[in-house]
Amino acid sequence: MNWEIVMGLEVHAELSTKSKIFCGCTTEFGGEPNTHVCPVCSGMPGTLPRLNRSVVEYALRVGLALDCEITRHCKFDRKNYFYPDLPKAYQVSQLYAPICRDGKLEIETDGTVGKKKTIAIREIHMEEDAGKLVHGKGGTLMDFNRCGVPLLEIVSQPDFSSADEVIAYLEKLRETLLYLDVCDCKMQEGSLRADVNLSVRQAGGELGVRTEMKNLNSFKAIGRAIEYEAARQIKLLEKGGRVVQETRRWDDDEGVSLGMRSKEDAQDYRYFPEPDLLPMEISGEWLVEIRGNLPEPAHMKRERYTRDLGLTGSEASLLTSHKNISAIFEAIAERSGEPTETARLMTGEIMRLVNDTNTLPEDLHIDERKFATLIALVTTEKINRNAYKETIEAVFLHDADPEAYIAEKGLMMVSDDSAITRAVAEVLDANPAAIAEYREGKEKVFGFLMGQVMRKLGGAGNPDIIKKSLKEMLDE
């Protein structure tokens, strides 16, 4: 049989506001358990929530960036259910009037470069996060630090038909959220999580029964989970069985999805309007202000880098792969006045060192002034490329002062014609066989002789002057 996969996504993005959605507690990740809490976010009786205006603004930024229709008369609802890390036994969310509806996001997959697919976004709503259960040998403990951290739930239509499309969508969505400055998207810290609703059907047939895989927090895990769950459902149906509507957990170590709880009967959350929060009126003036202050998105940066700075498409793509990378590139380029050389630095040695040290893009912090100084030294031929590369590593790994390091190591480039001429003459005197081979037409010997002269000058010789002097003496 010819099977099709049909999927929809629910993405939870923790907003990077300084305080929680309904109180003044910090949203900072980590901290000792149950230290980022107060009577409001811990659900003490008699407390009243107060809406954080920044949460609404961040939601509007995302909605406008994703071409959503904004719900001008917006309100919150209570979603009632009991779970150990939900101290109020209800969650403040949005069911009846989510802040954003009917948006879209265009994607390209590796196999369809140049061919775009539009993923429809059904809605975006604001809500508060729950706490965290910590399981151990002695039992299960509860940490309420995360309670009340503001979330956006971004719900797509069931428009995905492959794991590649899901990954492409999540990468584009992460890029959008990062460039909007609304979420740090650190999946390893749980600030970006995805639930996958997946079903299979015979090609062109009716939709099948779906399962939901919860809180997947890495692209690799999401791709593996989709492939496994689709294969599991197809195998089950081909054997004459039936798929049960349920919530499943992905075990990435074992590479399997496991049933958690049945969803055969829709749970009654007894939604009703949140009585402690007034409805919101989103004014046209506020929307105009927010739209006018939206940061430059990644795709526009890529276009600007190629159009105005003369960078290649691959350089522009790499430099905009993360907002922090782009910000560092622009800071160094502005200081040095050398965007092309800065792009070469960032996409070459800096990316190599980032990979070698397993540094996450969001954790990259480098001194723009020091690297701008280095660029000035190499472009004005004060140091050669070998010394430049060595000093880059010293600055990156040890925060060395570039000028002090170059002076200490004697890396300043030798451009004295007489010193270079003397070194060339000494090398030629010591290598008569190589001279003979060169004059017989073996031009590869020239590189060997260049290397010998550079070694004699301690690696600091000006290669252009060495090349000219060497050629003149060999051709005499």
Provide the pLDDT for residue 188: 82
Q: Confidence band (pLDDT; 50, 70, 90) for 394?
A: very high
Highest mean pLDDT among 118-127, 136-145, 179-188: 118-127
pLDDT band at 420 (very low <50, low <70, confident <90, very high): confident
Q: Which of 46-55, 178-187, 252-261 is predicted least confidently?
A: 252-261
How many angstroms separate the CA atoms of 342 and 301, rounded?
A: 16
pLDDT for the residue numbered 194 = 92
- The residues near 181 (Cβ < 8 Å, ≥ 6 apart) are 16, 295, 323
Residue 26 backbone dihedrals phi, psi, to 5 degrees:
-70, 150
Q: What is the structure's pLDDT at 444?
A: 80
Categorize the per-residue pLDDT at 475 as very low, low, confident or very high, splitting at 50, 70 and 90: confident
| pLDDT mean across residues, the chain | 90
* Gap between the Cα atoms of 416 and 56, Å rounded: 64
More confident residue, 403 or 381: 403
Q: Model confidence at 113, in pLDDT bands (50, 70, 90)? A: low
Q: Model confidence over 446-473: pLDDT tens digits?
A: 888 888 877 877 777 777 777 877 787 8
- Check if the beta carbon of residue 322 is closer than 8 Å to that of residue 174: no
d(CA 234, CA 53): 47
Topology of the domain covering 417-475? Arc Repressor Mutant, subunit A (1.10.10)
pLDDT of residue 428: 80
All CATH 1.10.10.410 domain ranges in the chain, comma separated? 417-475
300 Cβ partners below 8 Å, 6+ apart?
none
C-alpha of 346 from chain center: 17
Please say if the pLDDT value at position 264 is more than 60: no
Measure the CA–CA gap between 60 and 68, rounded to whole angstroms: 9
Average pLDDT rounded to a whole number, residues 404-418? 79
Give this prediction's pTM: 0.83
Kindly tell me if the per-residue pLDDT of 111 is higher than 70: no
pLDDT at 476 over 70: no
What is the rounded average pLDDT of the residues 69-84? 94
Q: What is the mean pLDDT of residues 200-211?
A: 89
Rounded Cα distance between 373 and 370, Å, is 5
pLDDT digits (tens, 9 = 90+) for 270-292: 999 999 999 999 999 999 999 99
Q: Supply the pLDDT for residue 417.
A: 66
